[in-house]
Amino acid sequence: MIQAENISKSFGGKPVLHDISLTINDGEVLAIIGRSGSGKSVFMKHLIGLIEPTDGRVLIDGVDIHTLSYNELRKVRQQFGVLFQGGALFDSMNSFDNVAFPLRTFTSMTEAEIKREVLNCLSMVELPDVGPKLTSELSGGMQKRVALARAISLKPRYILYDEPTSGLDPETSNTIDELIKSLDRQLDATSIVVTHDMHSVLSIADRVAFLHIGKLQWVGSVDEIHAAEDPLLTDFVKANEYQIGNPDSVKRL
Amino acid sequence: MSATASLAAPFQSMGRYALLMAQATRALPEVNVYRKNLFIEMVRTGIESAPIIALAAGFSGAVTTVQTAYQLVSPLIPNTIIGSIVAPSMILELGAVVTGFILAGRVGARIAAELGTMRVTEQIDALEAMGLNSIGYLILPRVLAGVIMVPVLYVLACFVGIGGGILVAHLGGFLPAAEFVEGARAFFKPFDPVFGAIKATVFGFAITSIACYKGYFTRGGAEGVGLSTTQAAVTSCVYILIADLALALLLL
């Protein structure tokens, strides 16, 4: 279980997050939504200690990660798989080596075992044949899927997705959403999805946290979101559903 | 930026650089984990730079020979003076400084661009998020490769530079090779190559560590990478000049 307690963060005196407290339960899919610049990605990076809070703390299984030594923190991070917004694939390596990288670094598997595992991960993201391709030869959607294969290669307990569908066409976005759901089932992982894509949220999330200008504005289950009375959340959802052209949902609001 | 912030900026920069190097030093016990990267960096910094270093050193030695002959050779001064000036010049100064300046451009700029691109495309965050020590993985091998390979390149520069001098002296009809060598040996001090090697080691550390610092803390997109690359090359050259003078005052 991950608990964020009273997280505040300022960059150069400029506040970005204000007093955010949020619990992420084991096995759930939590979507963190909000407009661009609302602090979603910054909050996500706090959860693995990539950014230290100005105030507050992050507990993983009851342990405050900011009291850990760097080497202890690295061990905690090995329980996470992270899909970064741009994929963050290592462009000096081909797709196979990208996915193999965590296995070669953190396990004592033989090359034959690594090959089997990499092909398994690439198959899970429905790209079994891209191994020899350089990352620059892949489309944006394929890069995200290879990055996802890398993120799951160590069978993480927690998977963090930073804008997994941003910049993708609707069909590829749906494919990524389906992948997230299927990986969640296969790996029994806890997933945290940072997004502003309501279509994805409604399709994959169990619970939703809405951030607005660095504040946690609303938390609830995905079923409660249409009944929510928070005007900021309502505006956000409405704007999103107009964008994706779902008149029924708009009417419901 | 306020006046106070402007005044504090260089000290903050030095503090961050010192902390980065301290963190890289702390990763030294794990160097075995990063040995593959170390060998790759040694090849890229050392072996791949050897041709351009040899070319520059060879021409430096040749030009120094011609200019020394032009200025000093007269019926009152023995021709061997050319060897006595060219060889110590290469060993004490030109070998290390020419190597340092070329590597500041060739290796320093490459390192800053690589790490800068990795920073702005979140590849460094990805390494950290996996639980890997990004400083140990990216910075330690690059700095170690610089410290190990720049003295090797310095030795190459000295041999090729003196060789270039001998060749031009012989082909230009200034003096025979044997007299050049006789002149070089007459004023040779065993400490001179040691001093040159110390300088090369310091230059190797300065070039790679400054480039790593500039690249690792790159901000922004392509423009930020370009800025880091330029700053890495220019700052390294300035520190080479400062270190050159400081070491000469300290050790000679």
- Which regions of chain B does DSSP assign to beta strands (E)? none
Token pair listed for A33: 């939504």
Task: Determine the Cα–Cα distance for residues A201 and A76; give it in Å rounded to an integer.
Answer: 27
Closest residue in chain A to residue B1, using alpha carbons only:
A12
DSSP state of A20: E
For residue B215, pLDDT over 60 is answered with: yes
Q: What is the mean pLDDT of residues A174-192?
A: 86
**CB-based contact A106 B131, cutoff 8 Å:** yes
pLDDT at A176: 85
For residue A177, pLDDT over 60 is answered with: yes
pLDDT at A225: 86
Q: Is A89 on the interface with B (CB under 8 A)?
A: yes
pLDDT digits (tens, 9 = 90+) for B50-104: 999 999 999 999 999 999 998 887 778 888 899 999 999 999 999 999 999 999 9
pLDDT at A209: 94
Mean pLDDT of chain B: 93
pLDDT at B94: 95
pLDDT digits (tens, 9 = 90+) for A54-95: 999 999 999 999 999 988 999 999 999 999 988 899 998 999
pLDDT at B1: 60
pLDDT digits (tens, 9 = 90+) for A36-57: 889 999 999 999 999 999 999 9
pLDDT at A249: 47
Task: Determine the Cα–Cα distance for residues A165 and A196; give it in Å rounded to an integer.
Answer: 9
Most confident region among A100-109, A216-225, B152-161 by mean pLDDT: B152-161
Of the CA atoms within 13 Å of residue B152, those in its CB half-sphere come to: 15
pLDDT at A241: 67
Mean pLDDT of chain A: 88
Smallest Cα distance from B124 to chain A, Å: 8
pLDDT at B160: 97
pLDDT at A13: 84
For residue A250, pLDDT over 50 is answered with: no
- Taking one residue from A and the other from B, the number of pairs with CB-CB distance under 8 angstroms is 47
Residues paired with A161 in a beta bridge: A83, A193
pLDDT at A246: 52
Smallest Cα distance from A232 to chain B, Å: 31
Q: Please say whether the dihedral angle defined by the alpha carbons of residues A171, A177, A179 and A181, taken in this order, is positive or negative.
A: negative
Task: Determine the Cα–Cα distance for residues A60 and A187; give it in Å rounded to an integer.
Answer: 19
**CB-based contact B131 A86, cutoff 8 Å:** no
Q: Which of B114, B122, B225 to mutate to test the interface with A (most CBs of A within 10 A)?
A: B122
More confident residue, B33 or B233: B233
**CB-based contact A90 B122, cutoff 8 Å:** no
Q: Is B130 on the interface with A (CB under 8 A)?
A: yes
More confident residue, B235 or A166: B235
Task: Determine the Cα–Cα distance for residues A195 and B174; give it in Å rounded to an integer.
Answer: 76
For residue B111, pLDDT over 70 is answered with: yes
pLDDT at A174: 86
Q: Is B131 on the interface with A (CB under 8 A)?
A: yes
- Chain A contacts of B134, Cβ < 8 Å? none
Q: What is the mean pLDDT of residues B177-199?
A: 94
- Chain A contacts of B130, Cβ < 8 Å? 77-78, 82, 101-102, 105-106
Closest residue in chain B to residue A81, using alpha carbons only:
B130
The minimal CB distance from B132 to the residues A84, A91, A105 is found for A105
Smallest Cα distance from A208 to chain B, Å: 24
DSSP state of A134: B
Q: What is the mean pLDDT of residues A100-110?
A: 92
Q: Are B172 and B66 in contact (CB under 8 A)?
A: yes
pLDDT at A245: 53
pLDDT at A244: 53
Task: Determine the Cα–Cα distance for residues B201 and B196; give it in Å rounded to an integer.
Answer: 9
More confident residue, B112 or B173: B112
Closest residue in chain A to residue B135, using alpha carbons only:
A70
pLDDT at A168: 79
The minimal CB distance from B122 to the residues A76, A88, A105 is found for A88
Task: Determine the Cα–Cα distance for residues A131 and A119; give it in Å rounded to an integer.
Answer: 8
Estimate the share of chain B in helix, then strand, then coil, as percent rounded to the nearest 5: 85, 0, 15
pLDDT at A251: 40
Closest residue in chain B to residue A72, using alpha carbons only:
B131
More confident residue, B35 or B216: B216
**CB-based contact A102 B130, cutoff 8 Å:** yes
Q: Is A86 on the interface with B (CB under 8 A)?
A: yes
pLDDT digits (tens, 9 = 90+) for A165-175: 887 788 888 88
Q: What is the mean pLDDT of residues B165-179?
A: 93
Token pair listed for A153: 């290669």
For residue A131, pLDDT over 70 is answered with: yes
Neighbouring C-beta atoms of residue A138, cutoff 10 Å:
20
Amino acid symbol at B241? L
pLDDT at B56: 97
Q: Please say whether the dihedral angle defined by the alpha carbons of residues B227, B228, B230 and B235, taken in this order, is positive or negative.
A: positive
Segment 19-58 of chain A within 8 Å of chain B by CB: 45, 48, 50
Q: Are B230 and B116 in contact (CB under 8 A)?
A: no
Q: Is B30 on the interface with A (CB under 8 A)?
A: no
ipTM of the shown complex = 0.86
**CB-based contact B123 A77, cutoff 8 Å:** no
More confident residue, B50 or A230: B50
Q: Is B222 on the interface with A (CB under 8 A)?
A: no
